[in-house]
């Protein structure tokens, strides 16, 4: 059985350091996911998330920094202002909103980040809920 | 949201094969007929918006030197058809631009389209055959619609625009909702299809011909399966592309296509339908795709004229000479486009109207976007509405039984 195709957009600051802490211990925290490093998740717009789904991603994760660590405050706010819009668009397209994961991690939270992505991948593998 | 600035864009393809193809296309589209009168430049909204832009000169470049400068300039054209309308020898420059974009490298769409190409990406996502959309949540409670039948109310990308442009307060589905209420009021139960896709207009005019053909085929298949024989739409671009381009993309396509304005006018003839008064003054903006490019100019005006108490005031540029709303097919939107939009809002405000009515959801979105940056004043206070919403206000109020 193959892993679900996941694209991870990750901020180059806190979540990147979190993943690096796992790399140093010989672990790939994002599993089989394709990771795209962004200057800030504020630069991750609807365009790239939708394009990831168009290119066949079954799930997209956008990993940012906790607000108090953000070096690009306005950008982060801009992204968060658009998350619900993005979820509404993909739901209209028939893609469950849960297939877009948005989360924030401190640099020391490598284990939590890895567990979060594992749980996300497992949720994508689960059979879909029967229609009501 | 993540559009690259002009200077950061990679240069266009300068291969000799592409140059040859562009020059061949220019000859095939009769750009040689041009005798340099310059009338096209005098009416081109991009030129009027402050950019140095001349269809005449670009036509010459296409014939003689179709290199990177021309290839970049192709994305500035609004394909509004103003130049073709005035050209004494019938040079189809917008048709050349539309077809030339299809020759450019495939990633050009993502580079040149506004909103990072997100709107085109949504349309490409709907072009996947297995996609199960959930696009009919806007249907008003109590409205009557069917899954199969003769007359389809086509809503195109409206549900997606409501979502994407929520920051502008866009209510694009208000027009099809109003059309549905009016149709019910005159005894018609239209088909609404969950399997409907975007019309493909934006992909066609942005150069993704294969994507457009996929959407056209999927729409034609869904319509055939539902027993549809006639398509009615409130969207000017969907109307234009289905009426004039679907037959070229889907050989077996033979459905009648009507814009809601002409459909309603025909349905009302011979019926006694009472219009309630809607006091006020309105001006009508002709969408390029509906007026100049499809010849539907008078029907919307005649419908508005039926409403008691409503005065129609014309803008300086109207009918076939109407000014564009500033952008088309979600391609390149910048300072020049904004200047065109502000000029159009200025013309509308000068009529003293309270409402700027149109028949294209994108015109409403573009003009609303321009209003967002304006300080308080006559241009900002103009209400923007689709004519269908105004007609429903008079013919089938939302609180009335349909």
Cβ separation A85–B159 shorter than 8 A? no
Which of B69, B60, B57 is closest to B23 using CA atoms?
B60
A2 Cβ neighbours under 8 A, 6+ residues apart: none
pLDDT score of A128 more than 70: no
Residue B174: predicted pLDDT: 97
Q: Using CA of residue A81, residue A58, residue A97, residue A107, what is the dihedral sign? A: negative
A46–B164 C-beta distance less than 8 A:
yes
List, for residues B324-340, the tens digit of each pLDDT value.
999 999 998 899 999 99
**Closest residue to B2, CB basis, from A45, A81, A85:** A45
Average pLDDT over residues B293-322: 97
Residues of A in Cβ contact (< 8 Å) with B117: 47, 51
In this complex, which of B1, B135, B159 lies closest to A47 when CB atoms are compared? B1
Under the banding of pLDDT at 50, 70 and 90, the label for residue B231 is very high
pLDDT for residue B154: 98
CB contact under 8 A, A92 and B131: no
CA separation for the pair B245, B31 (Å, rounded): 21
Among the partner-chain residues A44, A51, A89, the one whose CB lies closest to the CB of B164 is: A89
Q: A73-91 pLDDT, tens per residue?
A: 767 777 888 999 999 999 9
Q: Cβ separation of B125 and A47 shorter than 8 Å? A: no
A40: closest chain B residue by CA? B2
Q: What is the pLDDT of residue B13?
A: 56
pLDDT at B1 over 50: no
Dihedrals φ, ψ of A66, to 5°?
A: -60, 150
Give the B window 123-142 contacts with A, CB below 8 Å.
Answer: 124-126, 131-135, 137
- The more confident residue out of B400 and B352 is B352
| Confidence class for position A130, pLDDT limits 50, 70, 90 | low
User: Using a CB-CB distance cutoff of 8 angstroms, which residues of chain A are in contact with residue B133?
Assistant: 92-94
Nearest CA in chain A to B128: A54
The nearest alpha carbon in chain B to A43 belongs to: B2
How much is the pTM? 0.91
DSSP per-residue codes, B272-330: --PPPP--EEEEEPPPTTTTTTT---HHHHHHHHTSTTEEE---SS-GGGPPP-S-STT
The closest CB to that of B117, out of A47, A81, A88, belongs to A47
The average pLDDT across B244-273 equals 94
pLDDT at B2: 38
- Distance from C-alpha of B329 to C-alpha of B324, rounded to nearest angstrom: 13
pLDDT band at B235 (very low <50, low <70, confident <90, very high): very high
Q: Which chain B residue has its CA at the smallest distance from A94's CA?
A: B133
Query: pLDDT tens digits for A80-121?
Result: 889 999 999 999 999 999 999 999 999 999 999 999 999 999
ipTM for the assembly: 0.89
So what's the pLDDT on residue B401?
Answer: 47
- Specify the range with the lowest mean pLDDT, choosing from A85-89, B17-21, B260-264: B17-21
């Amino acid at each position: 059985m193959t892993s679900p195709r996941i694209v991870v957009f990750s901020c180059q600051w806190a979540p990147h350091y979190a993943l690096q802490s796992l790399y140093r211990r010989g672990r790939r925290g994002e599993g089989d996911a394709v990771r795209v490093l962004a200057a800030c998740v504020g630069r991750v717009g609807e365009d790239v998330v939708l394009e990831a789904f168009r290119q066949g991603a079954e799930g997209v994760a956008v990993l940012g920094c906790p607000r108090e660590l953000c070096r690009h405050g306005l950008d982060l706010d801009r992204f968060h202002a658009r998350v619900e819009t993005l979820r509404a668009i993909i739901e209209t397209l028939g893609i469950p909103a849960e297939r877009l994961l948005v989360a924030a991690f401190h640099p020391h939270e490598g284990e939590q980040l890895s567990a979060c992505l594992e749980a996300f991948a497992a949720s994508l593998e689960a059979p879909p809920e029967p229609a009501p | 949201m993540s559009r690259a600035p002009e200077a950061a864009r990679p240069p266009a393809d300068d291969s000799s094969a592409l140059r040859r193809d562009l020059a061949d296309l220019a000859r095939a589209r009769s750009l040689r007929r041009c005798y340099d009168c310059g009338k096209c430049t005098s009416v081109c909204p991009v030129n009027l918006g402050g950019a140095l832009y001349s269809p005449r000169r670009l036509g010459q470049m296409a014939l003689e030197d179709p290199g990177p400068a021309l290839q970049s300039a192709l994305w500035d054209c609004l394909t509004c058809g103003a130049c073709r309308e005035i050209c004494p020898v019938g040079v189809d420059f917008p048709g050349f631009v539309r077809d030339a974009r299809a020759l450019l490298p495939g990633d050009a769409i993502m580079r040149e389209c506004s909103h990072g190409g997100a709107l085109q990406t949504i349309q490409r996502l709907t072009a996947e055959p297995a996609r199960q959309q959930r696009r009919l949540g806007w249907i008003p409670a109590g409205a009557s619609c069917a899954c199969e039948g003769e007359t389809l109310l086509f809503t195109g990308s409206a549900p997606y625009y409501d979502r994407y442009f929520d920051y502008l307060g866009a209510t694009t589905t208000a027009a099809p909702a109003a059309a549905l209420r009016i149709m019910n009021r005159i005894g018609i139960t239209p088909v609404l299809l969950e399997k409907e896709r975007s019309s493909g207009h934006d992909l066609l005019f942005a150069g993704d011909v294969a994507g457009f053909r996929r959407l056209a085929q999927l729409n034609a298949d869904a319509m055939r399966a539902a027993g549809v024989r006639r398509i009615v739409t409130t969207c000017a671009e969907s109307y234009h592309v289905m009426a004039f381009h679907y037959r070229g993309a889907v050989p077996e396509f033979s459905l009648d296509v009507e814009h809601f304005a002409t459909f309603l006018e025909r349905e009302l003839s011979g019926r006694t339908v009472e219009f309630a008064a809607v006091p006020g003054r309105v001006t009508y903006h002709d969408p390029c795709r509906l007026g100049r490019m499809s010849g539907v100019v008078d029907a919307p005006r005649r419908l508005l004229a039926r409403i008691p108490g409503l005065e129609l005031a014309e803008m300086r540029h109207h009918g076939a000479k109407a000014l564009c709303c500033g952008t088309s097919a979600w391609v390149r939107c910048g300072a020049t486009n904004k200047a065109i939009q502000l000029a159009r809002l200025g013309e509308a405000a000068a009529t003293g109207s309270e409402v700027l009515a149109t028949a294209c959801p994108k015109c409403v979105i573009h003009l609303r976007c321009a209003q967002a940056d304006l300080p308080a004043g006559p241009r900002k206070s103009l209400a923007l509405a689709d004519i269908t919403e105004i007609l429903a206000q008079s013919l089938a109020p939302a609180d009335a039984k349909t």
